[in-house]
Chains A and B, each alone.
Chain A
């Protein structure tokens, strides 16, 4: 970029807004992830159900929600619900729900994969001592599956974190929105978006670090499932 004069001052000047944007990104991704975990659990349970029709419905819902671009989903939820059903969500709510649905589809697969990875013998042994199906699941299967689920759930969360940048299109004042807004006046998109990029690298690395500690805790002195 010969001849381009960098103006990093703009970044420093808009730091309070960027920080606010970062907090919103975090908030929306955390709420989105919470929803994703809830949806994921529901649909993973559905896919592992002993009833064929529940399995089929769950597969369908997961496949459809996984294939809708987040961008489109966001528009449907924010504008579509408002137009068709007069359900008026705030931009934040719409964003979190869209993230929850997309993330939920992935989480369903993560849960299913983790549970299926546990040897069938574990379930047999749990049932054989007289545990009920649900106790066998929560006391024997899930505690082992969670070690497989956590690292993959972190991947899903990092995806949601980045996906969360898309909510700027419906006017949520996240970091991207701030960067866009500031650049319009100062003509410094490169600096602003780079700042956002660096913030995301820092976020992702911190999340990965936390996940590493969590995994270490889960595996303390114990064999993998």
Chain B
């Protein structure tokens, strides 16, 4: 009893100081509605794992958070500032003005992708330096130092000057993680980052994410790795057909009564 009270109290606090709020977000591609009125709040230091069948809108939700796929309706509130999509069919200047602000939001939010998306025409260290020099405006020497540090942290100290071509999937993903971390983001988004990896490389990347979680990084993780989700997440969100069906602590989700979540979990856990 006491424990649930404390939990409730904690929840209230987290609500109050949510780092990131997703409010009534709707997104559609053509006629296909991918997200329907999604609401979610993420507190500082929280690790939220989003699970659900493919096509349920998990990745799109992540892309809405940093406006890579801007939400059609609703808003993202990040550190108290509200972000809404703006698009004028004719006023190019108004659109430019709006687009010029987005990098501010995006550079505070790190993102790691399923297919790594490292830049193949740049070495590992150049990949990591790009944001430091071209977004943060650091000089090359300083940027290189921080970039090397970031690469060392993810265990790539010996691959600094390699082109991605020469790196394994796991190493490319480490470059991508370092590239995001180097900018000191306030929250990290992970979009099925182990799905394209050979099985033997998955645990290394998951360990990297565990380390980040331990260090207190706020993380939103779309994943099919249920063990990871149940171990690391503070909260698990189950999505289906563009909606958040249920959300709760790992224990709550494990014992969920929601039929869709149960069906999904039993299909994936066997």
Contact = CB atoms under 8 A, between A and B. Distances in A.
A159 B100 CA distance: 41
A131 interface: yes
B163 interface: yes
Given A127-B106, A129-B180, A131-B135, A222 B66 contact: no
Contacts of A144: 119-121
Contacts of B71: none
B216 interface: no
Contact of A51 (B92, B111, B130, B163): B92
Interface string A124-165: 111111111101000110011000000000000000000000
Nearest to A219: B121
B117 A129 contact: no
B145 interface: no
A225 interface: yes
B89 A51 contact: yes
Contacts of A51: 89-90, 92
Contacts of A69: none
A129 B106 contact: yes
B115 interface: yes
B189 to A, nearest CB: 8
Contact of B119 (A53, A122, A132): A122
A16 interface: no
A214 to B, nearest CB: 15
B183 A130 contact: yes
A132 B119 CA distance: 16
B10 interface: no
Contacts, number: 84
A96 to B, nearest CB: 32
B151 to A, nearest CB: 15
Contacts of A131: 103, 130-131, 134-135
B117 A222 contact: no
Interface residues of A, number: 27
B179 interface: yes
Given A122-B117, A135-B134, A140-B119, A223 B164 contact: yes
B104 interface: yes
Nearest to A122: B117
A130 B89 CA distance: 24
A143 B107 CA distance: 22
Contacts of B165: 221-223
A119 B121 CA distance: 13
B134 A139 contact: yes
Contact of B120 (A52, A132, A139, A222): A222
Given A130-B107, A131-B103, A223-B165, A125 B120 contact: no
B179 A133 contact: no
Contacts of A125: 111, 113, 117-119, 176, 179
B99 interface: yes
B252 to A, nearest CB: 31
A121 interface: yes
A138 to B, nearest CB: 10
A119 B108 CA distance: 24
Contacts of B107: 129-130
A144 B119 CA distance: 9
Contacts of B109: 128
Contacts of A222: 120-121, 163, 165
A51 B115 CA distance: 29
Contacts of A223: 120, 163-165
Interface in A203-225: 221-225
Nearest to A146: B121
B155 to A, nearest CB: 21
Contact of B68 (A50, A122, A124, A135): A124
Interface of B: 63, 66, 68, 89-90, 92, 95, 99-100, 102-104, 106-111, 113, 115, 117-121, 130-131, 134-135, 163-165, 176, 179-180, 183
Interface of A: 50-53, 119, 121-122, 124-133, 135, 139-140, 143-144, 221-225
19 contacts: A50-B95, A51-B92, A119-B115, A124-B68, A124-B111, A124-B113, A125-B113, A128-B66, A128-B109, A128-B110, A129-B107, A130-B131, A130-B135, A131-B135, A132-B100, A139-B130, A139-B134, A223-B120, A223-B164
Minimum-distance CB pairs A-B, first 6? A130-B107, A223-B165, A125-B117, A129-B131, A121-B117, A130-B135
